[in-house]
Amino acid sequence: MPVLPLCNLLPPPFPLSQLNFIPEHDPSSYKGSSGCRFLTVGASPPYFGALAYASAATLQAGADMTTALTLEDAVADNLRNCPLTSAETMVYSSNLLPPPDIPNFSNSISGTLIGPGLSRAPSSQSWACTVASSLPPSPSKCVVLDADALWPSSSPSILETLLPPRSPLILTPNIVEFNRLVSTHLPDSSNYESESDKAQLCKLLRAKLNVHGIILKGPTDIITTEHCQLTCSTNGSSKRCGG
pLDDT in tens, 2-20: 333 334 444 445 455 555 5
Alpha helices in the chain (DSSP H): 48-60, 75-81, 102-106, 122-134, 158-161, 175-185, 195-209
pLDDT category of residue 191 using cuts at 50, 70 and 90: low
- Rounded Cα distance, 114 and 190, in Å: 30
Question: Can you tell me the mean pLDDT for 26-32?
Answer: 68
- Rounded Cα distance, 79 and 42, in Å: 13
Q: What is the pLDDT of residue 1?
A: 33
Those residues whose C-beta lies under 8 Å from the C-beta of residue 1, and which sit 6 or more positions away, are: 19, 22, 24, 25
pLDDT category of residue 93 using cuts at 50, 70 and 90: very low
Which amino acid would we find at residue 53?
Y
pLDDT category of residue 154 using cuts at 50, 70 and 90: low
At residue 92, what are phi and psi to the nearest 5 degrees?
-135, 85
Chain centre distance of CA 88: 17
Question: Can you tell me the mean pLDDT for 153-179?
Answer: 87
Q: Which residues pair with 92 in a beta bridge?
A: 97
Q: What is the pLDDT of residue 193?
A: 64
* Whether residue 30 has pLDDT greater than 70: no
Which amino acid would we find at residue 236?
G
Q: What is the pLDDT of residue 171?
A: 95
* Whether residue 122 has pLDDT greater than 80: yes
Please give the model's pTM, rounded to 2 decimal places: 0.77
Q: What is the pLDDT of residue 233?
A: 82
Question: Can you tell me the mean pLDDT for 34-63?
Answer: 75
* Whether residue 82 has pLDDT greater than 60: no
Q: What is the pLDDT of residue 11?
A: 46
The Cα-based distances of 172 to 9, 72, 81, 169 in angstroms read 21, 26, 23, 10
pLDDT, mean over the chain: 74
Instruction: Tell me the pairing of strands 86-88 and 169-172.
Output: unpaired
**Sheet strands (E) in 30-158:** 37-41, 65-69, 86-88, 111-114, 142-146
Least confident of 85-89, 129-133, 204-208: 85-89
